[in-house]
Amino acid sequence: MSNPLPVPSQKYSDKTMEAAVKSLKAKKIPVYEPGEDDYERCIATSNLIYRFSSPPCVVQPKCTCDVRDVIKTSKARDIPITIKNGGHSYAGASTTNIGILMELGLMNEVILDMAAGSETATVKGGAVWFHVYKKLTRKRFDGKHLDGWVVNSGRCPTVGVSGFILGGGLSPFTRSFGMGCDTVKKFTIVTAQGDEITASDDSKDQWEKDLL
């Protein structure tokens, strides 16, 4: 079985990779290279078919601004990017041997708004379902638990939320509540050009509305 690697351009080389790594480190974005413990942790995969995948570097953005910088830095040098959120892709889509592996694990914040009429969870792009479950089972300020709440999700705690949603979101709750993607109210994304866009029902562009 072959690894679904991105195709590099003719401009891609060791020198362009070195320049990109230097630029990203200068921006204080965490960058890990082969031989470092954090590198090995970030490239680890549960799919042993792809256990020998070894990208030239791993980048861990801390925020959307970092994601924009990584994309713009890579785009300027025609360096392919592979994105990892959880690493549960059966097809190996979160593994690579070329370019940059952007591992989103540091962007795992979950914010709950349980006010009547809202009842939403804002989930950052690097969160896995464990982060969401933990937030839902936390104690309130009065010491009581948030009983009675559930999210239309998968049941494996290490699956990435964004990957689950972008794949449609088939879950044990689908027959009762529909697909996971049906419950999304808003997306904040970074495009391949490095632009940050928020897509919702109020968006003017049709392609943004089509995300929902």
Res 5 pLDDT > 60: no
Lowest mean pLDDT among 29-43, 113-127, 158-172: 113-127
- Same domain, yes or no: 39 and 71: yes
Range of the domain at 192: 110-210
pLDDT at 200 over 50: yes
| Same domain? 92 vs 123 | no
What is the pTM (predicted TM-score) of this model? 0.87
CATH number, domain of 41, equals: 3.30.43.10
Q: What's the pLDDT band for 90 if we cut at 50, 70, 90?
A: confident
Q: How many domains does the chain have?
A: 2
Write phi, then psi, for 196 (nearest 5 degrees).
Answer: -90, 125
Domain containing residue 199: CATH number: 3.30.465.10
- Residue 5 belongs to some domain of the structure: no
Q: Do 208 and 197 form a contact (C-beta atoms < 8 A)?
A: yes
pLDDT at 21 over 70: yes
Does the pLDDT value for residue 164 go beyond 90?
A: yes
Rounded mean pLDDT of the chain? 89
Picking from 82, 103, 124, the residue at the C-terminal end of a domain is: 103
Residue 3 has pLDDT above 60, yes or no: no
Confidence of residue 2 (pLDDT cuts 50, 70, 90): very low
